[in-house]
Amino acid sequence: MRGLSKALLGAGAASLLAVGTHYANGAGTIDKIETDASAALAEAGVRGVDLSIARDPLSRNVTLSGISDPDERARIEGILRKSSNVGAISWEGELDIFDSEALATGIGNTEAITGASAEQIAACQQALDSFKEGKTILFDTGSADLSEQSLDLINSLARRMNVCTGMRINVGGHTDATGTDEVNLTISQARADAVAAELTNRSVAGVRIIATGYGSSQPLVEDAGENAANRRIEFTLDDAAAEAAPEGEG
């Protein structure tokens, strides 16, 4: 029994030592991630943001504060994702976005896809259209791979969509008419799906998003060939509970 007790005590001590070493090494890793993240922000010229990572329990999840502008928040998130091994990113403090009073729906559940009034939907749609004017979501030629510049734009769009609660988000992919109808329909759907996936990666609830590819069937400019204006992603907001008017009405 005495030998067994010694063996058990030895095993217990070894386990505690292993746990302690693991925690120390883990804490050192988190310290490095936090240092690298802060250095990346400083190098990018970011000022006025506070960054912290939880130690108890150990986590790679970053909490930020000090910035209320949605575009600057999106830029900072992009910097952190590219340059450091951080986990989830969250913000403390109010978001300075659109006219918050005009857009607030009062729905606490950001996954809700019904409940916004027609006025709120119209206000959000106008704000999204205004923000996106002159900006284009770009893909590599002939593929659904998004450019880095486009990911930054999607960051900003996601911030705005998360304010517009109680609404469904229709993501429409469109091409020009340079390919066959089948090819155009396939790539437009793939591109709409890619944008939808990036929105969900940025905390826009997937249940709120419908991605649809239209190929070249809805051109902005009537043109039988290549036209950059017709290659686009469009966002349309509505209430999922809204029903189409019966045929013959309207």
Report the alpha-carbon distance of residue 250 to residue 240 in Å, rounded: 19
What does the pLDDT average to over 140-164? Answer: 86
In which band, very low, low, confident or very high, does the pLDDT at 170 lie, cut at 50, 70 and 90? very high
Report the alpha-carbon distance of residue 112 to residue 121 in Å, rounded: 13
Report the alpha-carbon distance of residue 152 to residue 157 in Å, rounded: 9
**Each residue of 102-138: pLDDT tens digit?**
445 556 667 878 888 888 888 889 888 988 988 999 9
Q: Of 147, 162, 148, 149, whose CA–CA distance to 70 is shortest?
A: 162
> What tokens does 164 get?
């517009």
Q: What is the reported pTM?
A: 0.61
Residue 93, C-beta contacts closer than 8 angstroms, at least 6 positions apart? 65, 66, 67, 68
Report the alpha-carbon distance of residue 166 to residue 238 in Å, rounded: 9
pLDDT of residue 123: 84
| Chain-centre distance for alpha carbon 127 | 18
Under a CB-based contact definition with an 8 Å cutoff, are residues 146 and 198 in contact?
Answer: yes
Instruction: Please determine, for residue 169, whether its predicted confidence score (pLDDT) is greater than 90.
Output: yes
What does the pLDDT average to over 211-222? Answer: 91
pLDDT of residue 67: 81
Instruction: Please determine, for residue 175, whether its predicted confidence score (pLDDT) is greater than 50.
Output: yes
Instruction: Please determine, for residue 208, whether its predicted confidence score (pLDDT) is greater than 90.
Output: yes
**Each residue of 18-69: pLDDT tens digit?**
434 444 457 788 888 889 989 999 999 988 888 888 877 778 888 888 887 7
Report the alpha-carbon distance of residue 235 to residue 226 in Å, rounded: 22
Instruction: Please determine, for residue 156, whether its predicted confidence score (pLDDT) is greater than 90.
Output: no
pLDDT of residue 20: 44
What does the pLDDT average to over 189-213? Answer: 94
Give me the torsion for CA of 55, 56, 59, 62, rounded to 10°. Answer: -60
